[in-house]
Amino acid sequence: MKDIEYFSEKRNLARVAAGFKGGDSFKKPRTLGPTSFVGWPSQTDAKFMDSNMIKQGTPIDVWNERRQKSI
């Protein structure tokens, strides 16, 4: 019967690092330039300017009116 192998954190980390070697995980990260926001498309502006599409709701049974009725 074999003995249980002794756990070594350093050896395990070296094994994992060797598995990732050559991959993208340990390479220098690529930095991107600053991004700029140019605005909404014209279709989106037209949609939000049309007030008929967005209906404003009105509260029907607000909590303070219910409370006053029950007192």
| Surface-to-core class of residue 63, CB atoms within 10 Å of its CB (0-12 exposed, 13-18 middle, 19+ buried) | exposed
pLDDT in tens, 41-65: 888 877 777 656 667 777 677 777 7
pTM of the model: 0.28
Measured in residues, the chain has a length of 71
Task: Say how far apart CA 71 and CA 50 lie, in whole Å.
Answer: 44
- C-beta separation of 29 from 38 below 8 A: no
The Cα–Cα gap between 20 and 30 comes to: 18
pLDDT in tens, 19-41: 877 666 666 777 888 888 888 88
